Amino acid sequence: MKELTVEEQFELIKRGTVEVVPEEELKQKLAKAKKEGIPLRIKLGIDPTAPDIHLGFAVVLRKLRQFQDMGHEVVLIVGDFTAGIGDPSGRSETRPVLSAEQIRANAETFTSQFWLILDRSKTTLTFNGDWLGKMTFYDVIKETSRVTVARVLERDDYQKRLAEGRPIGLHELMYPIAQALDSVEVRADVEIGGTDQRFNIMMGRDLQEAHGQEAQVGLFMPLLPGLDGVQKMSKSLGNYIGITEPPKNMFGKAMSIPDEVMLQYFELATNLPKEEVDQIKKGLEEGTLHPMDAKKRLAYEITRLYHDEEAAKREKEEFERVFSQRELPSDIPDAVVPGSELSDGKIWAPKLLVVTGMAKSNREAKGLIEQGAVTIDGERVADPNSDIEVQTGQILKVGKLRFGRLVLGE
């Protein structure tokens, strides 16, 4: 990337964001970094509550990569300590606490996927247990003295739960303080996160100032809608596209994105220039671009980004052949159903999707069935509580592009 002026850096950083707080301070930090030749330290905190990265989380990582391409440094803080507390952001009840084993396993998988997006040479990866785990009880009390109860209870999550009579654990009140201490530890210039992280990030500003540091700027990214077009993308809801999914799955899932959120995906999940996204938007509004053609372009760009041009082209051609001509794919893989899962030759419908790899969980499988996305030999599976009689050779179809030829196993 060519060297950008401060104003050009600022405009590029702002693209796709919901809010920068405060904007003027970010401009000042960028100007100072350019003048002194010292890169800014951009912080992202991640609690490893799930093992994989999906397109929703990749929105934040891609913004970090923009900073790196401009010469700045990224500090990734894996919350091995804070994951043991549980982030209450957006929760209507206390979040289950993960075991140390779960945290370590998730962190190992999670961190290996960072480098599909970020520049490893411009990234510092650390774990907040390295400093938070060494604090004494006196240290904790000292830090809490810098924050009032009224300030902590300002967050919407707590107010809603209190109004509804739902419990709030005392440990949850400590989470934003612990997360803010990460900013103090790494002396962050900017902290990035989703809009659901606003309270935590602003708490970081407060504690940095209390420690005599220059306060970080908060940069807030939108939450990418999931494949249902309503709720935010989440692995637990089964409405996600994982960045390590095979090209066929990735392209097929992208083709199921609702028309009304396509433009958000173009802007937040692809590398298309703003001018080209604006042209797509104009074409859709004027009716000169068919939504199906726009969606194929979207699926192509997403697949190309995480695989390559050849894979994206292959899946686009396969989709057009199967969808447009109503043909079966040329290479339907076997979907093995273990005999141990059958009872009188039948299997619970959601379980069928899980054992054949078409869904990661019973909950995700139920959602797919309820959406009408599952057929066997062309007949829709309508009831998520039904039992399916399995016969070798049946064609299981999930969504528009995922097929499996059922095979009875041992």
DSSP3 helix / strand / coil % (the chain, rounded to 5): 50, 15, 35
**Interatomic CA distance for residues 136 and 265, integer angstroms:** 45
**Interatomic CA distance for residues 232 and 268, integer angstroms:** 13
Alpha-helical regions (H) of 85-214:
100-114, 129-132, 137-144, 149-152, 156-163, 170-186, 198-210
DSSP structure class, residue 261: G
Torsion sign across C-alpha atoms 296, 297, 298, 302? positive
Q: Report whether 283 contacts 300 (CB < 8 A).
A: no
Full pLDDT tens readout for the chain, 410 residues: 678 999 999 999 998 899 999 999 999 999 999 999 999 999 999 877 666 789 999 999 999 999 999 999 999 998 888 887 766 655 544 555 667 777 777 777 777 889 999 999 999 999 999 999 999 999 999 999 999 989 988 888 888 888 899 888 888 889 899 999 999 999 999 999 988 899 999 999 999 999 999 999 999 999 999 988 888 888 767 788 999 999 998 998 999 899 999 999 999 999 999 899 999 999 999 999 999 999 999 999 999 999 999 999 999 998 888 776 666 776 788 889 988 888 888 999 999 999 999 998 999 999 999 989 999 988 899 999 999 998 888 889 998 778 888 988 76
Give me 337's structure tokens.
């159903």
Alpha-helical regions (H) of 255-330:
262-269, 274-286, 291-306, 309-319, 325
CA dihedral 119, 121, 123, 128 (to 10 degrees): 130
How high is the pLDDT of residue 111?
Answer: 78
- Provide the β-strand partners of residue 374: 398
| pTM of full prediction above 0.85 | no
